[in-house]
Structures are given as structure tokens and as C-alpha cells.
Structure 1
Amino acid sequence: MLSALTHPRLQDCRRLFLRNYEVLINIGVHEFEKKGEQRVLFNVDLYIPLAVSTPTADELHEVVDYDFMRDTIAARMAEGHVHLQETLCDDLVKALLAHPRVRAVRLSTMKPDVYPDCEGVGVEVFRIKEEA
């Protein structure tokens, strides 16, 4: 797959990422899934314009903190059970795009324990913020 950074609206961006962030969550449509937690792996890419993410004083406030990605996932999971990975991805992408410095988001979720004969099943969403 080509890098999203080749998209014309993202060529002036840096990419922040969170890889294989494993969380136990309540997700699924089947009754047995509603009674317990499942492992879900999150992968997040945030595309931040260099103009608003290039530190001049080497200070955290000059960039988007990595905690933002983890905190956004935690806040969504605190809302309770979600049936579909598609819903979860859409909710998270919307929340991540709400950050004023974030121009685009690529996010995937994967449930690694659904089938014994594959690494996992999942969903990926990529969205670029509308131009003002």
C-alpha cells in the first residue's frame, strides 16, 4: 500500500503512530461476546501539519502528545459495549479528527482471537479533515 503521505493534502505533514495497542474491551454482536471482554489491537496514524508540530523549544506543548491517542481510545471504551468494529473505528476517527492540529487519521482495529486459523479480523478507516 502506498503511504498516505503521498496524498497531496498530507505532504506537509508528519505522521504520529501508535502500534498494536492491546486493550481488553466489551465488543461484539453475539451473546457470548456481550458477557466478557475480548482482546482488540489498535493501530493509529495521525497526520499533523509540520507548521503546527515542529518544536522550536523542544517542549511537549508544541506537538501532539502520544497520550492523546491512548486517552481517546480509553474515553470511547468507557462509554460501554460496542457491537461492531466499524462503529468503534468511526467513533474513534471522529474523536481524533476533532483535535485542532490533526489533519487526517488512519485507524484500524483487529480482534486476534476470533478464528484459530488466522492472525485476526478487523477494520480500517482513513479520513482527511474537510478543508475550512
Structure 2
Amino acid sequence: MTAITSSTHWNEALALSCRRLFLRNYEVHINIGVHDFEKLGPQRVRVNVDMYVLLSQSTPKADRIHEVVDYDFIRRTIAARVNAGHIELQETLCDDVANTLLEHPKVQAVRVSTEKPDVYPDCDAVGVEVFRIKR
């Protein structure tokens, strides 16, 4: 395994030692927002996740799901946070999801982004992204 040190660029170390799992444009309807009109009902939010798992802990020998980190773990983590109640900020949603994913013993790093596609009529979306590395 390649250790991530202060002299090693994190992206290089992750690329050499990890497998990247991802979830793209997972759409949820969530109670999110600080404005009164946002608290009237759910909004459409897209969530994207990159999760880095050590190759040594995610290379199957018997082609069985228990040998890897299951994609369902990502979806369950997001669903649990979405179902936990109103969130005011996308930053909170990203941080909560990233921190929970990083608790998995095989996960070394995560990138989580959220975007609200229906906020402004003159752009595709507004959003937030966070990156976390396990120390």
C-alpha cells in the first residue's frame, strides 16, 4: 500500500493504491433550505460520490460481493441522512454523508457533491463539494 504523506500528492497516492467507486447523479427529493418557501416541501437534489477503497481491500479473489464495498452502502448512507429530517444547508448534507462514508474501515477518501438544479432559471444547478481523506 502507498501511504499518503506530506510529500506525496494525495491524488497520485489514491490513484496508485485505491479503487474509485462512484455514484453519479443520484436524485433525491429532500427537505432542504434556509428560506421559508424552501421549508414548504421537498426539493430535487442530485448527489455525486467518489469513494476511494484500498486495492488490497477491494480486489475480489472469489468474485463475491462481501470482498468489496457494496454500492448499496453509498445509497443507504445518503437515504439515511435524507430521511433524518430537514437540512438547512447543502454543506451540512455533504459533510454528513462524507463523514459517514469515511467511517467504513475500507474507505480511505471520499468526495461528495450536491446540487440543486431548480434554484435559478439561468443555470444548470447550484451546489457544494467536499473532499475528505482518512488520516
With the shorter chain as reference, the TM-score category is over 0.9
TM-score of the superposed pair, with normalisation by structure 2 = 0.91
Choose the corresponding residue for 1:27, options 13, 28, 32: 32
User: What corresponds to 2:101 in structure 1?
Assistant: 96
> In 2, Cα distance between the equivalents of 1:33 and 1:40?
12
> In 2, Cα distance between the equivalents of 1:39 and 1:5?
32
Listed as ranges, the gaps of 5+ residues in structure 2 are 1-8
Matched, 1:71 2:43: no
Matched, 1:45 2:50: yes
Letter in 1 for 2:96: D
User: What corresponds to 2:91 in structure 1?
Assistant: 86
Note the C-alpha offset of 1:93. Answer: 0.5
Percent identity of equivalent pairs: 67
CA RMSD of aligned residues (A): 1.3
Deviations 1:18-75 (A, max 9, x none): 0000000000000010110000000000000000000000000000000000000011
**Structure 1 stretches (4+) deviating beyond 6 angstroms?**
none
Note the C-alpha offset of 1:91. Answer: 0.6
Letter in 1 for 2:97: L
> In 1, Cα distance between the equivalents of 2:107 and 2:113?
17
> In 2, Cα distance between the equivalents of 1:9 and 1:44?
15
Matched, 1:18 2:23: yes
Listed as ranges, the gaps of 5+ residues in structure 1 are none
User: What corresponds to 1:122 in structure 2?
Assistant: 127
Note the C-alpha offset of 1:78. Answer: 1.4
SS in 2 for 1:7: helix
The change in CA–CA distance for 1:19 and 1:9 in structure 2 (over 3 A counts) is: closer
